Amino acid sequence: MEIAEHITAIQQQGDLLATAAAQQDWNTPLMTCPDWQLRDLVRHIGGVHRWATRHVAERLTKPIRDYDPLAGPFAADAELIDWFRQGHARLVHTLTDAAPELECWSFLPAPSPLAFWARRQAHETGIHRADAESPRRVITPYLPNLAADGIDELLYCFVSRPGGRLRADPARTLHMHATDQPAEWTIEIGADGVTVSGTHPQADCSVSGSTSDLYLFLWNRSGLDGLTVNGDVQLLDTWRRDVRIRWS
């Protein structure tokens, strides 16, 4: 996906998140984030948007280690949706107006810092949109190209980083196959970590389904409903237990 497409996704996913949040009580517990109520989610993503905006707008070359102070003091419940929308709009505006040659801090491989921030915030916003919708048990499907891009980011940029918890000895192989577009991912889990490729070997466990359903499953936002599984299902339990995403 191109930078402009990621920015469009940020806009769309943030609008969906705000709509879902506005239709529910702030004390609603989130199925996908067991320790959070809806209020916590909106405060979190609103803080992340402000944190990202600062790095781009001010061309910061070192990270702001804590985004919570940027978000506070938090708005009262009655103003929380407006507070979220203001930060969301500033992020979209900042990324849209940023120069392609922008230099600032980033933390994942990308063609440029601007490409990194647009992509990361598209999926940060998108996956938390699913959290906001989760209490109603109906999650709006993601467009296949956005979901595939999010799986790429998750697997190639996060899960395969050194130091991750996901390990297996002897090595195990998990294969994910999209049924709505020509996309597949092979995740080789070994004693030293994870490697990812687009090949199609014999796998210990294979999962197929829509790209949107695969995206939600791999980000630990859904179970296996709508997916077809063959092989060792326990490998998926290992995934759910050990895959945790951190920016640092």
Q: Which CATH architecture has domain 161-242?
A: 2-Layer Sandwich (3.30)
Q: Which two tokens stand for residue 105?
A: 């801090």
Residues 6+ apart with CB under 8 A from 70: 47, 50, 51, 54, 64
Contact 2, 114 (CB under 8 A): no
What pLDDT, on the 0 to 100 scale, is given for residue 162? Answer: 85
For residue range 62-116, what is the model confidence (pLDDT) as tens digits?
Answer: 999 876 556 567 889 999 999 999 999 999 999 999 999 999 999 999 999 999 9
What pLDDT, on the 0 to 100 scale, is given for residue 108? Answer: 95
Mean pLDDT of 11-33: 96
Mean pLDDT of 164-189: 94
Mean pLDDT of 42-46: 95
State if pTM tops 0.85: yes
Q: How many CB atoms lie within 10 A of CB 88?
A: 24
The domain spans of the chain are 3-136, 161-242
Average pLDDT, the chain: 93
What pLDDT, on the 0 to 100 scale, is given for residue 248? Answer: 46
For residue range 193-246, what is the model confidence (pLDDT) as tens digits?
Answer: 999 998 877 899 999 999 999 999 999 999 999 999 999 999 999 999 988 877
What pLDDT, on the 0 to 100 scale, is given for residue 106? Answer: 96
Q: How many CB atoms lie within 10 A of CB 171?
A: 14
Q: Is 80 exceeded by the pLDDT of residue 136?
A: yes
High-pLDDT (> 70) share of the chain, %: 96
What pLDDT, on the 0 to 100 scale, is given for residue 68? Answer: 59
CATH says 3-136 is which class? mainly alpha
Mean pLDDT of 34-63: 95
Contact 195, 165 (CB under 8 A): no
